């Protein structure tokens, strides 16, 4: 029940005839005397009460006029002093409610979390720190710039919404507080309202608004948590590499079977090469750590089940040999049409011969400058011979799939480890040539 209702109830207990009040409160004797004009005064008070009760049903102008009338009413001072007295008595019962509430632990938790996530507090670093933490939690923080920036962008969006809403709430709170304070000041002309009471009312309003703010903070926290879990899920989610990327990695692997440990540079090159070839959708470039993972998995799985991979190895050997054959044939043709001693070193003739190192990588011209034209010119005959040998081997493999395979696990030693790079396997581990992606220095 509000103040006004209480007061009205209290006034309702006034014994108009005897000026006594229920509950021991006494109405000060009004002007005039008891007796003959008692009915008149009764009528007066009845009028006043009626006007007060119906004032809210009237239009603003009418209410203003009526309020003015009441303020100027001859009974007003008496009524006001009664109200003061009632106030005095009832004030005791509400004093206990004025105690300051201790800070809400839930609110503190939310505030702390928003601060930690970089939503609340200073913008600088917060969000990216959280993103970095999320990235670090799932490993390979440096390779995830796309997801990272995506996360930050989303977090910034949440932050903006949060601050806009917070501002709106604060503005609404201030406006409402001002409005209520004005209203109370206005009302204090007709009923006693102490500054403390206004203060208390302001406190109530602020508490109400802070509970709304808490809901906003809670929603924001939930949004951040969802964003974070999605971010981590997306990073954890496995996606198969494209066929081209797998081919590139496989070709490198089988052409370095004796020592399938690509150096950091080689991994970078492979990652770059795979990412260029790959089209797995937005943000699905292949990273260096993914290349490392791939080689790690491949080595183990190859070692565990060489038989199963034999066919794949042969396939890549044949493929590489055919590519080499085409390249050499083109070079030979080129050599014949141009000067035999000064071959054309145009970019289209980029290749290495089968026994000139990282065959595949050179063929693919990873570095863009692996043309071996001069060597072709000088050694063209011997290379053609070698190639003939390779091609004949390939044909032999095709003719007899079961027994005569190009690839054998020469790279693996008796202990199940990979042989030294110094002992290359027959076809697939030649010495490297310029322009190829360099594998480990031990190779």
- Does 241 contact DNA by CB under 7 A? yes
Which residues, numbered 326-385, are part of the site for DNA (CB under 7 A)?
none
Using the minimum distance from each CB to DNA, give the nearer residue, 335 or 425: 425
Shortest Å distance, C-beta 236 to DNA: 5
User: How many CA atoms, within 13 angstroms, populate the side-chain half-sphere of residue 29?
Assistant: 6
Both tokens assigned to 385: 């011979």
* Part in contact with DNA (CB under 7 A); list of ranges 58-66, 102-110, 234-242, 383-391: 234-242
196, 230, 308, 388: residue in contact with DNA (rule CB under 7 A): 308
Q: How far is the CB of 298 from DNA (least distance, A)?
A: 7
Nearest 5°: phi and psi at 334?
Answer: -60, -40
213-226 as b/e: b if 16+ CB within 10 A:
beebbeebbebbee
| Of 313, 307, 301, 347, the residue nearest 327 (C-alpha) | 347
> Is residue 231 near DNA by the rule CB under 7 A?
no
Binding segment for DNA (CB under 7 A), chosen from 108-116, 329-337, 373-381, 414-422, is 414-422
Using the rule CB under 7 A, give the single segment among 87-95, 169-177, 182-190, 412-420 that binds DNA. Answer: 412-420
Contact (Cβ atoms closer than 8 angstroms) between residue 25 and residue 85: yes
Residue the block writes with tokens 């109830």: 9
Binding mask 122-151 for DNA (x = CB under 7 A): ----------------xxx-----------
CA distance 323 to 116: 56
Distance CA 233, CA 329 (A): 50
Binding to DNA by CB under 7 A, coded x per residue (else -) over 243-262, reads: ---x--------------x-
The site map against DNA for 276-305 (x = CB under 7 A) is --------------x-xxx-xx-xxx-x--
Site map 88..127 versus DNA, x via CB under 7 A: ----------------------------------------
Q: Which is nearer to DNA, 287 or 365 (CB)?
A: 287
428 by Cβ neighbours in 10 Å (0-12 / 13-18 / 19+) ranks as buried
Identify the DSSP state of 27. Answer: P
Residue 15 three-state SS = strand
Residue with tokens 């309003």: 205
Give the interface with DNA as residue ranges (CB under 7 A).
Answer: 138-140, 233, 235-241, 246, 261, 290, 292-294, 296-297, 299-301, 303, 308, 416-418, 440
């Amino acid at each position: 029940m509000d103040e006004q209702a209480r007061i009205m109830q209290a006034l309702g207990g006034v014994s108009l005839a005897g000026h006594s009040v229920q509950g021991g409160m006494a109405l000060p004797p009004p002007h005039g005397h008891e007796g003959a004009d008692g009915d008149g005064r009764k009528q007066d008070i009845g009028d006043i009460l009626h006007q007060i009760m119906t004032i809210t049903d009237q239009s603003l102008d009418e209410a203003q006029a009526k309020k003015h009338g009441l303020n100027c009413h001859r009974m007003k001072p008496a009524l006001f002093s009664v109200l003061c007295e009632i106030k005095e008595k009832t004030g005791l019962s509400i004093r206990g409610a004025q105690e300051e509430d201790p800070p809400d632990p839930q609110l503190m938790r939310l505030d702390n979390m928003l601060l930690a996530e970089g939503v609340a507090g200073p913008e600088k670093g917060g969000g990216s720190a959280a993103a970095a933490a999320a990235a670090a939690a799932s490993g390979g923080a440096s390779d995830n710039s796309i997801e990272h920036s995506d996360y930050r962008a989303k977090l910034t969006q949440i932050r903006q919404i949060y601050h806009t809403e917070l501002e709106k709430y604060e503005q609404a709170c201030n406006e409402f507080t001002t409005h209520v304070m004005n209203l109370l000041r206005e009302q204090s002309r007709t009923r006693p309202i102490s500054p403390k009471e206004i203060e208390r009312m302001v406190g109530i309003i602020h508490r109400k608004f802070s509970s709304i703010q808490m809901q906003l903070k809670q929603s924001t926290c939930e949004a951040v948590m969802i964003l974070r879990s999605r971010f981590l899920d997306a990073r954890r989610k496995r996606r198969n590499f494209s066929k081209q990327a797998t081919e590139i990695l496989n070709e490198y692997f089988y052409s370095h079977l004796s020592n399938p440990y690509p150096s950091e540079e080689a991994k970078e090159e492979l990652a770059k090469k795979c990412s260029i070839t790959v089209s797995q959708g937005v943000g699905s470039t292949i990273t260096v750590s993914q290349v490392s993972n791939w080689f790690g998995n491949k080595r183990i799985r190859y070692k565990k089940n060489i038989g199963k991979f034999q066919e794949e190895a042969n396939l890549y050997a044949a493929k590489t040999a055919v590519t080499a054959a085409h390249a050499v044939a083109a070079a030979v043709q080129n050599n014949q049409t141009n000067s035999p001693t000064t071959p054309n070193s145009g970019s289209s003739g980029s290749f290495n011969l089968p026994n000139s190192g990282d065959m595949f990588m050179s063929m693919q011209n990873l570095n863009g400058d692996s043309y071996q034209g001069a060597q072709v010119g000088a050694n063209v005959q011997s290379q053609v011979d070698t190639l003939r040998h390779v091609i004949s081997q390939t044909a032999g493999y095709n003719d007899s799939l079961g027994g005569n395979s190009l690839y054998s696990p020469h790279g693996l030693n008796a202990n199940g480890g990979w042989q030294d790079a110094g002992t290359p396997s027959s076809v697939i581990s030649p010495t490297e040539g310029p322009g190829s992606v360099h594998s480990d220095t031990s190779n």
